[in-house]
């Protein structure tokens, strides 16, 4: 993956009434990469995908595919495979006929169509289902058919818009891994839209995080989780404890509201004396009885693989810790007074988030 295959340059989309769905988007995707567009409803991720597909037209800026501008190229000439959440299968056709459709409209020879459909059915493990109708399949099987139809004509780019949203959790998690494996096997460039941060972390080479039409951060799953660049990213990708405070010095000392001082890694251009938000992941919080910030346990919630500890610190901040099952001390009890701490490297001083309001995030 050395060349940029998909490029957004200064792309803006404005709808009637002056609503900016996407603002000045600059984004490059390498050939063969799987990039997820992640964000809450109305963040601009799906609009960006639809402009790439050709179903929406940019109000400003340019989009390039393999070095070619898409400005005057209609959707049916872009050679892009599409998978939608509702599958968009033809109910009167068999599974094989649905998969063959992109080849039939391209007037490919019959033998070529037959062989390509067989390969596609094998790829999605539905080789025995070709004669069935979509209504005779489960939701997961229908999703596989939609995926096979998008891949059957060997597109250089596949776009997937919330493709697993209608599936139950267990099947959705299974399909995430299956799509990831198919992508690795074929090497096709894939752009995937989701609101599910767990899905994005599981599947992606890189994640593009959107908020209010703007790209907040682009990086590998590890980068966006371990090194968020904004308070929004820290809270939306995974879960984060967030404490309002003031940056005291360039080394990262922060005085939290309430008087406690902590050290943190400073992200971005935060001036000394400016307001900041300190972010700490719940699994990085250590609970003890001797060192750290005083806190009182308000609730213990058992999740099977881990225990969720809900606390209130002496500075008045709400705080959550996650303890793996098997690493829970015997003295940990509801309403107990304890002390909490974390490594300096696990705390991030980020931009202040107004009122600490976080947009909708689904599990």
Tell whether 129 and 195 lie within a shared domain. Answer: yes
Domain boundary among 162, 194, 226: 226
Residue-level pLDDT at 361: 55
Tell whether 111 and 87 lie within a shared domain. Answer: yes
Instruction: Check whether 357 has a pLDDT greater than 80.
Output: no
Residue-level pLDDT at 1: 40
Give domain status of residue 362, yes or no: no
The string of DSSP codes covering 189-249 is EEEEEESBHHHHHHH-SEEEEEETTEEEEEE-HHHHHHS-SSHHHHHHSS--EEEEEEE-S
Under 8 Å CB-to-CB from 226, ≥6 apart: which residues?
none
Tell whether 107 and 191 lie within a shared domain. Answer: yes
Give domain status of residue 94, yes or no: yes
What's the pLDDT tens digit per position in 181-235? 999 989 999 999 999 999 999 999 999 999 999 999 999 999 999 999 999 999 9
Confidence of residue 354 (pLDDT cuts 50, 70, 90): low
Domain hosting 311: range is: 239-353
Tell whether 183 and 110 lie within a shared domain. Answer: yes
CATH number for position 287 = 2.40.50.140
Tell whether 282 and 198 lie within a shared domain. Answer: no
Quickly count: other Cβ atoms within 10 Å of residue 7's Cβ.
Answer: 18
Give the mean pLDDT of 132-140.
90
Closest CA to 66 of 76, 52, 55, 56: 52
Q: Do residues 78 and 63 make contact, with C-beta atoms less than 8 angstroms apart?
A: no
Tell whether 174 and 68 lie within a shared domain. Answer: yes
Confidence of residue 363 (pLDDT cuts 50, 70, 90): very low
Give domain status of residue 275, yes or no: yes
Tell whether 144 and 60 lie within a shared domain. Answer: yes
Backbone angles phi, psi at 315, to 5 degrees: -90, 0
Confidence of residue 100 (pLDDT cuts 50, 70, 90): very high
Q: What pTM value is reported for the model?
A: 0.89
| Centroid of chain to Cα 251 | 32
Helices 139-151 and 95-105, packing angle to 10 deg: 20
Q: Could you tell me the end-to-end alpha-carbon distance of the chain, in angstroms, rounded to an integer?
A: 31
Under 8 Å CB-to-CB from 110, ≥6 apart: which residues?
none
Give domain status of residue 234, yes or no: no
Tell whether 208 and 299 lie within a shared domain. Answer: no
Report d(CA 64, CA 161) in Å as an integer.
20
- Strands in 286-288's sheet, in edge-to-edge order, are 286-288, 337-341, 293-302, 306-313, 318-324
Tell whether 293 and 216 lie within a shared domain. Answer: no
Residue-level pLDDT at 76: 86
248 or 140, higher pLDDT: 248
Question: Are β-strands 189-194 and 157-161 bridged in parallel, bridged antiparallel, or unpaired?
Answer: parallel
Report d(CA 3, CA 5) in Å as an integer.
6
Give domain status of residue 11, yes or no: yes
Q: Do residues 141 and 126 make contact, with C-beta atoms less than 8 angstroms apart?
A: yes
Residue-level pLDDT at 16: 87
Residues in the chain: 363
Quickly count: other Cβ atoms within 10 Å of residue 229's Cβ.
Answer: 19
Tell whether 142 and 206 lie within a shared domain. Answer: yes
Percentage of the chain exceeding pLDDT 90: 73
What's the pLDDT tens digit per position in 159-184? 999 988 778 888 888 889 989 999 99
DSSP 14: E
Q: Can you tell me which residue has the tokens 């979509």?
A: 134
Backbone angles phi, psi at 32, to 5 degrees: 85, 0
What's the pLDDT tens digit per position in 291-350? 889 999 999 999 999 999 999 998 888 999 999 988 788 888 888 899 999 999 999 999
Residue-level pLDDT at 355: 54
Tell whether 221 and 244 lie within a shared domain. Answer: no
Residue-level pLDDT at 337: 92
Closest CA to 124 of 101, 106, 147: 147
Dihedral, CA of residue 126, residue 82, residue 203 and residue 264, to nearest 10: -170
Report d(CA 300, CA 100) in Å as an integer.
54
Quote the number of domains for the chain. 2
Report d(CA 86, CA 163) in Å as an integer.
8
Tell whether 95 and 136 lie within a shared domain. Answer: yes
Domain boundary among 175, 202, 226: 226
Report d(CA 150, CA 145) in Å as an integer.
9
CATH number for position 124 = 3.40.50.300
Give the mean pLDDT of 73-96.
89
Assigned token pair, 315: 């500075």
Give domain status of residue 43, yes or no: yes
Confidence of residue 356 (pLDDT cuts 50, 70, 90): very low
Confidence of residue 47 (pLDDT cuts 50, 70, 90): very high
């Amino acid at each position: 993956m050395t060349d940029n295959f998909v490029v957004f340059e200064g792309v803006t989309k404005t709808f009637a009434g002056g609503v900016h769905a996407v603002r000045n988007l600059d984004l490059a995707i390498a050939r063969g990469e799987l990039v997820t567009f992640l964000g809450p409803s109305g963040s601009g991720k799906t609009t960006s995908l639809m402009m790439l597909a050709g179903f929406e037209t940019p109000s400003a800026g340019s989009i390039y595919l393999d070095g070619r501008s898409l400005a005057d190229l209609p959707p049916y000439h872009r050679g892009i495979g599409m998978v939608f959440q509702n599958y968009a299968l033809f109910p009167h056709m068999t599974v094989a006929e649905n998969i063959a459709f992109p080849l039939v409209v391209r007037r490919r020879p019959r033998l070529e169509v037959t062989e390509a459909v067989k390969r596609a059915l094998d790829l999605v493990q539905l080789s025995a289902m070709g004669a069935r109708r979509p209504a005779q399949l489960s939701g997961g099987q229908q999703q596989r058919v939609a995926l096979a139809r998008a891949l059957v004509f060997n597109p250089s780019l596949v776009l997937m818009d919330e493709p697993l949203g209608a599936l139950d959790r267990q099947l959705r998690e299974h399909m995430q891994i299956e799509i990831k494996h198919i992508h690795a096997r074929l090497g096709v460039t894939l752009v995937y839209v989701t609101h599910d941060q767990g899905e994005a972390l599981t599947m992606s080479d890189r994640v593009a995080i959107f908020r209010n039409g703007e790209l907040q951060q682009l990086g590998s799953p590890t980068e966006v989780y371990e090194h968020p660049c904004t308070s929004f990213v820290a809270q939306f990708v995974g879960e984060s404890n967030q404490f309002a405070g003031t940056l005291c010095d360039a080394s990262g000392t922060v005085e939290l509201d309430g008087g406690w001082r902590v050290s943190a890694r400073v992200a971005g251009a935060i001036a000394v004396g400016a307001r900041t938000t300190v972010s700490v992941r719940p699994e990085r919080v250590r609970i003890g009885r001797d060192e750290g910030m005083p806190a009182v346990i308000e609730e213990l919630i058992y999740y099977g693989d881990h225990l969720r500890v809900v606390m209130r610190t002496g500075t008045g901040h709400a705080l959550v810790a996650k303890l793996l099952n098997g690493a829970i001390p015997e003295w940990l009890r509801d309403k107990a007074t304890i002390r909490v701490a974390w490594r300096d490297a696990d705390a991030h001083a980020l931009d202040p988030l107004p009122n600490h309001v976080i947009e909708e995030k689904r599990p």
